[in-house]
C-alpha cells in the first residue's frame, strides 16, 4: 500500500504515524487553494479552486535530534527506503496528473525542506485569516501581518536549524520562509484558508499541528517561539468562544 499524506501539519503528524507492513509513506505539499461552497442541496458540495499552485511529492524523512514529541515516530517513518518511496512517488504523481493537478517528484531531502516552507505559510496565513476574518491576500497587506510573518518565520527557521531533516539539504533561512509565505499569499490571494473555514463553521482547527507544534518543539529544544505560541493561544480562545469540541 502507498499512503500519501496531503495535509497541513505533516511534520507534527509524522511524530505519531506508523507504517503498515510493506507500506510506503509519501508526503505531498501543495500551494493550490480551494474551499467548499455551502451545500446547495442534500449531499452535494461544490469545491472552489481559488488559486492554482504547484504540488510536490516525495518520501518523508525523520528529523534529527530524536524527532518531535518524544515518541520516536519519525524513526518508524524512516523505515521506508528512499528508492522505494521515490518509485511510489512517481505513481502518486501520475495520479495527480490524471486529475489535472500534476505533481513534481522530489527526493527525501527536498521534500523535508518543502515541508518547513509549507509550515511557514500555514503558520502565518491560516491563523491570521481566521482571527481577522479575511482572505489570504489581505494578511501581508497589513503592517501587523508583515510583522507577525517575520517573527513566525524567524522562529520556524530557528527550530528547523536546531533539528533539521536527516539529509544534506540546507535548512531554509527565515528570509526564504518569508518569501514562500509571500508567494503563497499572492497565488492564493482570493482563497479562504482551511483554518478560517474550520473556525467559522464551528470545527476544531489544525493550529496544534502548526503554531502549537512549533512552540512545543521550540521548548523541547530549549528555546522559545513566542509569536507562534501567541497565535496558537489566540486560536484556542477563538475556538473556545465558538464552542468547538471536535
As annotated, the active-site residues are: 118
Q: Which three cell numbers stand for residue 185?
A: 499569499
User: Is 12 exposed, middle or buried (CB count within 10 Å of its CB: 0-12, 13-18, 19+)?
Assistant: buried
Contact 146, 140 (CB under 8 A): yes
Spell out the residues 6+ positions from residue 157 whose beta carbon is closer than 8 angstroms to its own. Answer: 171, 172, 173, 174, 177
Spell out the residues 6+ positions from residue 240 whose beta carbon is closer than 8 angstroms to its own. Answer: none
Nearest to 50 by CA among 25, 30, 29, 78: 30
Amino acid at each position: 500500500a502507498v499512503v500519501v499524506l496531503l495535509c497541513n501539519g505533516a511534520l507534527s503528524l509524522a511524530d505519531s504515524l506508523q507504517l503498515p507492513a510493506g507500506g510506503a509513506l509519501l508526503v505531498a505539499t501543495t500551494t493550490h487553494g480551494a474551499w467548499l461552497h455551502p451545500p446547495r442541496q442534500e449531499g452535494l458540495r461544490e469545491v472552489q479552486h481559488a488559486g492554482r499552485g504547484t504540488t510536490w511529492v516525495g518520501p518523508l524523512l525523520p528529523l534529527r535530534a530524536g524527532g518531535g514529541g518524544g515518541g520516536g515516530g519519525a524513526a518508524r517513518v524512516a523505515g521506508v527506503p528512499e528508492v522505494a518511496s521515490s518509485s511510489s512517488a512517481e505513481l502518486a504523481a501520475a495520479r495527480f496528473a490524471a486529475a489535472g493537478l500534476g505533481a513534481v517528484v522530489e527526493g527525501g531531502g527536498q521534500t523535508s525542506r518543502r515541508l518547513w516552507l509549507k509550515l511557514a505559510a500555514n503558520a502565518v496565513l491560516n491563523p491570521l485569516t481566521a482571527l481577522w476574518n479575511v482572505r489570504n491576500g489581505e494578511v501581508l497587506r497589513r503592517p501587523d501581518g508583515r510583522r507577525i510573518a517575520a517573527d513566525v518565520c524567524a522562529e520556524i527557521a530557528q527550530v528547523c536549524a536546531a533539528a533539521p531533516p536527516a539529509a544534506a539539504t540546507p535548512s531554509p533561512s527565515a528570509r526564504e520562509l518569508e518569501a514562500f509565505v509571500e508567494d503563497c499569499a499572492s497565488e492564493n490571494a482570493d482563497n479562504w484558508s482551511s483554518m478560517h473555514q474550520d473556525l467559522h463553521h464551528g470545527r476544531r482547527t489544525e493550529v496544534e499541528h502548526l503554531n502549537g507544534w512549533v512552540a512545543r518543539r521550540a521548548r523541547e529544544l530549549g528555546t522559545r517561539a513566542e509569536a507562534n505560541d501567541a497565535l496558537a493561544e489566540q486560536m484556542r480562545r477563538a475556538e473556545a468562544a465558538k464552542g468547538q469540541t471536535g
